[in-house]
Structure 1
Amino acid sequence: MDDELNLTYITLGGHVEVEKYRYLYFVIMFTVYILIICSNSTIVYLIWIHQNLHEPMYIFIAALLVNSVLFSTAIYPKLLIDFLSEKQIISYSACLLQFQFFYSLGGSEFLLLAAMAYDRYVSICKPLQYAAIMRKTTVSIILVFAWILPAFQVAVAAALDAREKICAFILNGIFCNNTVYKLQCVISGARLIRDMIIFLNVAVLPVLFILFTYTRILIISYRSSSEVRRKAAQTCLPHLIVLINFSCLSVYDVIIIELESDFPKIVRFIMTLQIILYHPLFNPIIYGLKMKEISKHLKRLVCPARMNYVNTDN
């Protein structure tokens, strides 16, 4: 019976003094999860109900924020349950499912940021062709592609990993990311090549594409009027900040499997929390404050009386 249990269940060994601080952890992370859902959903709601926000740029922002909610939902409920449980365990199949959601939605983040960069490139560098290029059909195809491609590729990887024999049953983490590979008895060269191809498709190529498009935008803006430069800075800067933030967290997640023994447990615990805490909260703040039209509708939603007073004075 014990052998059967070991073959089925994995212990999440990345928690730090969970017995002592379980209720504090739970309250903090539950509050963060509610804030993530409310903040992201509020921006999506504003984009949904206001006709002037039914443009490709805002639709991509809404998709990115929905992606953040899905990303958090793949992690937080299980994490909250673990904080209140005597044992932090997960079945190997459920672990692979969480692995699937974590990396497919992470890949979708990069592809959606690439779509936003392309939208800004067409808007600023080819304004007369914008309506013809960024049609509703094109936007829909891009959104489907951004979610389907990573999901399919990571699903294949997870299905193949499910057939691998595992020789370890303690995962040095608080959820199932690439540290799952440390559980396997053998890490084959074919698996490394497969993962590199997936990483190239859903992360490296989108980032290179984003850098290329923003370089072109920078060149065109520099040669254009101050109005074009202002528009470029206003709409592109939030996307670049989000990209840099998410890329740094993703780099940490990629290298942690190689360097985990060099990190103290408390440092690894804190850094892992940053991946699931900082970014989903960061996105709605950036877009809510830095995107002028969204910020205007957000202020009107939060302080309707004050905005009506200002409009009356004007």
Structure 2
Amino acid sequence: MINSTQVSYFTLGAYFDIGTFEYVSFVVIMSLYMLIVLANLLLIVVICRNRSLHEPMYLFLCSLCVSELYGSTGLFPLLLVQILSDVHTVPAPLCFLQIFCVYSYANVEFCNLAVMSYDRYLAICFPLQYNTLMTSDKVAVLIALTWLYPFLAITVLISLSASLTLCGNIINKVYCNNYSIVKLACFNTTVNNMYGMAYTFATICVVIFILYTYTKILQVCFCGSKQTRQKAVSTCTPHLASLLNFSFGAFFEIVSSRFDMKHVPYMCRVFLSLYWLTCQPLFNPVLYGLNLTKIRILCKSLIFGKM
């Protein structure tokens, strides 16, 4: 029996020997990480530098880009170290820190998408009252809640997991995972499971709220003019695509953690477990950069100089 306070390290059991391909994998993942950092930093700089973009929609987008940088930094550095390492162990404090970063990132992502959908809902369904309903103070409060709520929720989650008495230290993942640690517990984990269910239910409620706002937006689009429909499509398509992409990855991660997925090829399981943490941070800046005309023009101006 190993008490969690005595566990000095966890072993990531999902890695396997890929020989010389480890260097290729390292270069590919390092390149992906650099692309993510550069793409998100570009959008953040463009939005911060241009006063014409200091509007709620772009400020929420800036918050989304910051969360992508935060989540990527919580995953990639440790992942790159593990790829080149022969012994895939992680110190317990660092493992819990990674869990905090990854899980809080996921919540911040959903909360960001929720406030962005709410902003579009007000802009399209209540265009005349929009400036009154979405004030600068309200924007600041929404962004603060987007970050504070996930941090508090995950702090409680980590505290419950860190206090467990463990009977092992092998995590069958390529990164630290909270549910994998809970499964190592020797005794009753009812409190952890109840809090985990409440945490999952709260996340589902956020997703339902997002879908509700888009349902209302679609109702307005079908009843409105051609110009209204075009505005809705141009501004809402990136948000909806981002939500579907992230929800798919998060859903598979939850399913693979809780159910037997041995019938799925091993490499496919590893790829899909990393999908929501690697593709979403690159997907968002590319998607918004290409779809939002203002962002696209200003990005070109910043990179190639004013035309």
TM-score w.r.t. the length of structure 1 is: 0.91
> Structure 1 residue 187: deviation in Å?
5.3
Unaligned runs of 5+ in 1: 309-314
Unaligned runs of 5+ in 2: none
Q: Which residue of 2 aligns with 1:167?
A: 167
Letter in structure 2 aligned against 1:300: S
Q: Larger deviation: 10-19 or 41-50?
A: 10-19
Q: Secondary structure at the match of 2:279?
A: helix
Q: Larger deviation: 78-87 or 10-19?
A: 10-19
Letter in structure 1 aligned against 2:267: I
Q: 1:170 to 1:47 in 2, by over 3 A?
A: same
Aligned-pair identity (%): 33
Q: Which residue of 1 aligns with 2:271?
A: 270
CA distance in 2, matches of 1:252, 1:194: 20
Q: 1:5 to 1:162 in 2, by over 3 A?
A: closer
Q: Which residue of 2 aligns with 1:189?
A: 190
Q: After superposition, what is the alpha-carbon deviation per residue over 1:229-265, rounded to whole angstroms, capped at 9, x for unaligned?
A: 1100000010000000000001011111123452443
CA RMSD of aligned residues (A): 2.0
Q: 1:24 to 1:260 in 2, by over 3 A?
A: farther
> Structure 1 residue 45: deviation in Å?
0.7
**Are 2:243 and 1:223 equivalent residues in the alignment?**
no
CA distance in 1, matches of 2:3, 2:216: 59
Q: Which residue of 1 aligns with 2:140?
A: 140
Instruction: Note if contact 1:18-1:83 (Cα within 8 Å) is conserved in structure 2.
Output: no
Q: 1:233 to 1:136 in 2, by over 3 A?
A: same
Q: Which residue of 1 aligns with 2:292?
A: 291
Letter in structure 2 aligned against 1:100: F
Q: Which residue of 2 aligns with 1:98?
A: 98
> Structure 1 residue 43: deviation in Å?
0.8
Q: Which residue of 2 aligns with 1:72?
A: 72
Q: Larger deviation: 112-121 or 258-267?
A: 258-267
Q: Secondary structure at the match of 1:75?
A: helix
Q: Is the helix fraction higher in 1 or 2?
A: 1
Q: After superposition, what is the alpha-carbon deviation per residue over 1:69-111, rounded to whole angstroms, capped at 9, x for unaligned?
A: 1000001111111122221111223212211111111001111
Q: 1:5 to 1:266 in 2, by over 3 A?
A: farther
CA distance in 1, matches of 2:195, 2:121: 32
CA distance in 1, matches of 2:240, 2:78: 31
Q: 1:5 to 1:63 in 2, by over 3 A?
A: closer
What count of residue pairs does the alignment treat as equivalent? 304
CA distance in 1, matches of 2:188, 2:173: 19
Instruction: Note if contact 2:5-2:163 (Cα within 8 Å) is conserved in structure 1.
Output: no
CA distance in 2, matches of 1:275, 1:89: 23
Q: Which residue of 2 aligns with 1:118?
A: 118
Q: Which residue of 1 aligns with 2:21?
A: 21
Instruction: Note if contact 2:111-2:146 (Cα within 8 Å) is conserved in structure 1.
Output: yes
CA distance in 2, matches of 1:247, 1:287: 18
Q: 1:260 to 1:90 in 2, by over 3 A?
A: farther
Q: Larger deviation: 81-90 or 119-128?
A: 81-90
TM-score w.r.t. the length of structure 2 is: 0.93
> Structure 1 residue 218: deviation in Å?
0.8
> Structure 1 residue 183: deviation in Å?
2.3
Q: Secondary structure at the match of 2:10?
A: strand
CA distance in 1, matches of 2:276, 2:76: 12
CA distance in 2, matches of 1:187, 1:267: 33
Q: 1:209 to 1:127 in 2, by over 3 A?
A: same
Query: Displaced runs of 4+ in structure 1, greater than 6 A?
Result: 2-6
